[in-house]
Amino acid sequence: MYSRILIANRGEIALRVIRACRELGIETVAVYSEADRGAHYLRLADTTVCIGPGPAGKSYLDISRIVSAAEITDVEAIHPGYGFLSENSHFAEICRSCNIDFIGPDPEVMRKVGDKVQARALARQAGLPLLPGSEGAVQDEQEALAIAHRIGYPVIIKAAGGGGGRGMRVAHTDVSLVNGFLAAQVEAKAAFKNAEVYVEKYLEKPRHVEIQILADRHGAIVHLGERDCTLQRRHQKVVEESPSPALSPSLRREIADAAVAFARAAGYNSVGTVEFLLAADGKFYFMEMNARVQVEHPVTELVTGVDIVKEQIRVSTGERLGFAQRDIRFSGAAIECRINAEDASDGFRPCPGRITAFCPPGGPGIRFDSHCYAGYEVSPYYDSMIAKLIVHRRSRAEAIVSMRRALDEFLIEGVRTNIPLHRRIFSDQSFVRGDVDTTYLETAYSK
């Protein structure tokens, strides 16, 4: 086991990793930007190091500053959290060259699954179902048009090197395809330093279902069930739950088996998530793999009892998984709400500022993950998520009732949040029935 780990992240996930390390008896080094100076969670780390000013490009995304902090504090490993450098294979390679473990998959594996074109080819080889589309990166508009005419509109153009909705365009006509292709290339180049894009059939009104994978360095791979992440805004998840209300037992097994097959084909060796689109007819299609711990991992922790962050650290040291697939038991239903400092009624506009009152909910079945408190300054430099509110009850119906109660209890003042939106969602009969798709939020609550 490691004796000291540097956490190359901030906020809620940094606090989550600190807590896991404390329980494992591992010392922690927390890095922070000037914008995060004085944050309470930093007090829980054994050592703190300032790595630069507020903008992420000059702090949390600056590899040289993070590696320097790791070297001067003599850590054995770096935990990247999620976002920032968590899926940056170049960063993982630099860690390796400096004899520092990167707590995640090997750089070669990360590169393989992180490039969407390579990942599709790997999924095809592993026998996973794929939406019709290009075999590889598309070179120009004429090739894109030929593919669109072959598979039929609508189609979607996607960046090969990234996600989160950037470098992505939907096209219904030749004109929109040409315009979207060029725009996607420019956006992909700016966001991911990789202008490559590919084209595939656009699946209208799907659900988004993902499988949590855990793999060690000795070839053992298990899945920890699914999460349904269908409720999204701008391709960013808002509500996540497990189990999915849309899966039958047989379909659940089929998707989980496909995810494990993909991870095995990739030689995967860490925590990761294989994501799928689920059509209304019950057919599912491989979308991508995220080679890191997910924001929504608490949902899976609650229904399985597995501490995903601790297991991620353990397998990084070379330990074998301490359990097999048959040992994993699923209990009840869990739902997570991402609480963001944003105005959902104004196009989900971020709302940074000082939190003047902060009283989170509690009671039976409630888990609350946050680094915030009264007096905390929500920075304009980073993602707007300030908390995760998770409930775990015996059934989905009970979890929805508990979430309504928890949302009503949650007091936060000084910044606008999306709590009013969540209250509407959990009173919406379409959501209660489980009858939603990935376009639902922005169509139902566009005003």
- What residues are annotated to the active site? 292
Taking the CA atoms of 57, 106, 126 and 300 in sequence, report the sign of the dihedral they define: negative
Of the candidates 374, 151, 124, the one whose C-alpha atom is nearest the C-alpha of residue 262 is 124
- Position 206: which residue type? P
Give the integer Cα–Cα distance in Å for 97 and 92.
9
Give the integer Cα–Cα distance in Å for 257 and 152.
30
Between β-strands 27-32 and 47-50, what pairing exists: parallel, antiparallel or unpaired? Answer: parallel
Q: Are 96 and 105 in contact (CB under 8 A)?
A: no
**Is 113 buried (19+), middle (13-18) or exposed (0-12) by CB count in 10 A?**
buried
| Cis peptide preceding 243, ω within 30 of 0 | yes
Give the integer Cα–Cα distance in Å for 257 and 247.
14
Residue with token string 């998520």 = 385
- Position 136: which residue type? G
Q: Are 327 and 258 in contact (CB under 8 A)?
A: no
E-strand stretches of 110-235: 155-159, 168-171, 197-201, 207-215, 221-233
Q: What tokens appear for 246 in the block?
A: 């849309």
Of the candidates 118, 124, 311, the one whose C-alpha atom is nearest the C-alpha of residue 212 is 311
Q: What is the DSSP string of 26-51?
A: -EEEEEE-GGGTT-GGGGGSSEEEE-
